[in-house]
Amino acid sequence: MSAVSVVLERNRSLRAGNGMEVRERAQKVLTKDMTAGSPMRLILGFAVPLLFGFLFQQFYSVVDTIIVGQFLGVKALAGVGSTGSINFMIIGFCMGVCNGFAIPVAHKFGAKDYSGMRQFIANSVWLSGVFAVIMTTMVVLLCRNILMLMHTPEDIFVYAYTYIVIIFCGIPASYLYNLLSGIIRSMGDSRTPLMFLLLSSVLNIGLDLLCILTFRMGIAGAAVATVVSQLISGVLCLFYMKKKFDILEITKDEWKVNFSHMKTLCGMGVPMGLQYSITAIGGVILQTSVNSLGSVAVAATTAASKVSMFFCCPFDAMGSTMATYGGQNVGAKKLERLGEGLRACSVLGIGYALLAFGVLFFFGDNFVSLFVNEGGAGIVEGARQMLLTMSAFYIPLAFVNIIRFMIQGMGFSAFAVLAGVCEMVARGLAGLFLVPALGYTGACFASPLAWILADVFLIPAYIHVRRKLGKMMSDGGES
């Protein structure tokens, strides 16, 4: 080879090397390595954008409810509210499965095994497609029967069925967004899903008003707006991932079905999905009891639940943060950081719980009034009672989210299912015994009892899995 050829080859290598360094630096900016640095700073930096994402996600539901309550009336509001538990049971399963699929991705990202990470992503896509088709078909066919079994009041049945069957037709959109946003978050990027949800939230408001006020679609308009908005969020996530993340360029070989990977993904995802669904079964039992109290009680529960869910978004953000934090640090085998992160996030959770209770104590009526028009005084009073009862127990709720998702991120999803069983039992017992005995007051204490019982299980469960991981790694095993 001539001297000129050598120089030219060296220059090409340098340019290629420089290009690779630029891409690596870009990936580091887009992602977040949570295996080094201050846990408190990392958790805050990751959770704050994620919090806004959850707030905007709740914004979908809240805007639907406000517009329905103000423009379509109390019966329509109660119809939407009566579907809350079954909605959570099905859509919650979708969210849980997708969050579980993201855990092996976080493990591989923390271990810097990017080819293995892409293989898990590819197989999670195949599984999500299968799950979406099967679930959509089943729940749409069974939807009417389920509402009848829940003793949905006759005067709101049509509203309930119309709303929830359209939401269930949008299950594929839910899988699309939750899977892709979970993958992005598993690599430490919690900001991008926020931006897409912000855009879709604005679109959701416009579609709500357009479908309900202009097109006169009634309750169906609110459901259509929610599904379309989430679909757009998912599509935007897909385009962003293809354009910005070089490490996500999946090769033909990596797209191949790998049953071993699918087994691992199902081992993480299905238990997390069942955790949501099992928890929701108790909610279905409770909702059935509340339905027996009449449409006013259902409307009050709906308004209180919507406000509470909005205020609980920080707890959701803390939970998802700890799943990524735990997954990356287990993948990097830095177990000493698990306890540090858990303590830091617990301080944040307790502080916010106290703040939220204070705000709801003084301003709860104002928030509830957004959901009802004139003549809803009884609904406001009942919703305030539920809000104050639930917010007084937000500290146990904080620990439920922080510890449960940390355990999931560590790779022990089965324990999260058992925690869901605890919540299911508590809400089920409240629906079967407290509501018949105490009426609406019994319904107010259902969630606090569920959170406390879950904590009784989760705290010793975390101690157990932490010790088990330590032993596995000290013995040279894989987590």
Segment 458-475 shows an average pLDDT of 89
Residue 245: closest CA among 26, 18, 16, 17: 26
The answer as to whether 3 is a domain residue is no
Three-class DSSP category at 292: coil
Q: At residue 376, does pLDDT exceed 70?
A: no
The answer as to whether 255 is a domain residue is yes
Q: What is the mean pLDDT of the chain?
A: 85
Paired tokens of 165: 């069957």
Please report, rounded to a whole number, the percentage of residues in the chain having pLDDT higher than 70.
89
Which residue bears the tokens 């079964």? Answer: 281
Kindly report the length of the chain. Answer: 479
DSSP string of 128-152, one letter each residue: HHHHHHHHHHHHHHHHHHHHHHTT-
| Residue 50 neighbours by CB under 8 Å, 6+ apart | 185, 190, 193, 194, 317, 320, 321
The answer as to whether 70 is a domain residue is yes
Gap between the Cα atoms of 76 and 86, Å rounded: 17
Q: What is the CA radius of gyration of the chain?
A: 23
The answer as to whether 16 is a domain residue is no
Alpha carbon separation from 216 to 72, 207, 213, 344 (Å, rounded)? 10, 12, 5, 50
Angle between helices 39-67 and 219-244 (to 10 degrees): 150
pLDDT tens column, 50-68: 787 777 767 666 666 778 8
The predicted structure's pLDDT at residue 372: 66
Gap between the Cα atoms of 58 and 56, Å rounded: 5
What one-letter code names the amino acid at 364? G
Alpha carbon separation from 401 to 113, 361, 444 (Å, rounded)? 28, 23, 20
Three-class DSSP category at 403: helix
pTM over 0.75? The answer is: no
Q: What's the angle, vertex CA 327, arms to CA 324 and CA 330, rounded to 5?
A: 145
What one-letter code names the amino acid at 73? G
Residue 424: closest CA among 397, 449, 401: 449
Paired tokens of 297: 């009680």
The predicted structure's pLDDT at residue 14: 40
The answer as to whether 347 is a domain residue is yes
Gap between the Cα atoms of 407 and 461, Å rounded: 8
The answer as to whether 30 is a domain residue is no
Task: Give the residue with greater pLDDT, 346 vs 19.
Answer: 346
Q: Where does the pLDDT of residue 18 fall: very low under 50, low under 70, confident under 90, or very high at 90 and above?
A: very low
pLDDT tens column, 292-336: 888 788 888 878 887 888 899 899 899 989 988 998 899 888 988
Q: Where does the pLDDT of residue 377 fall: very low under 50, low under 70, confident under 90, or very high at 90 and above?
A: low
Burial state string for 96-127 with b = 16 or more CB within 10 A and e = fewer than 16? bbbbbbbbbbbbbbbbeebebbbbbbbbbbbb
Gap between the Cα atoms of 275 and 93, Å rounded: 8
Gap between the Cα atoms of 255 and 261, Å rounded: 12
The count of structural domains within the chain is 1
What one-letter code names the amino acid at 339? G
| Residue 351 neighbours by CB under 8 Å, 6+ apart | none
The answer as to whether 34 is a domain residue is no
Q: Which domain holds residue 435?
A: 47-474
CB of 290 closer than 8 Å to CB of 435: yes
The answer as to whether 24 is a domain residue is no
Q: What is the DSSP letter of 248?
A: G
Alpha carbon separation from 8 to 4, 14, 15, 94 (Å, rounded)? 6, 10, 11, 54
Gap between the Cα atoms of 146 and 152, Å rounded: 9
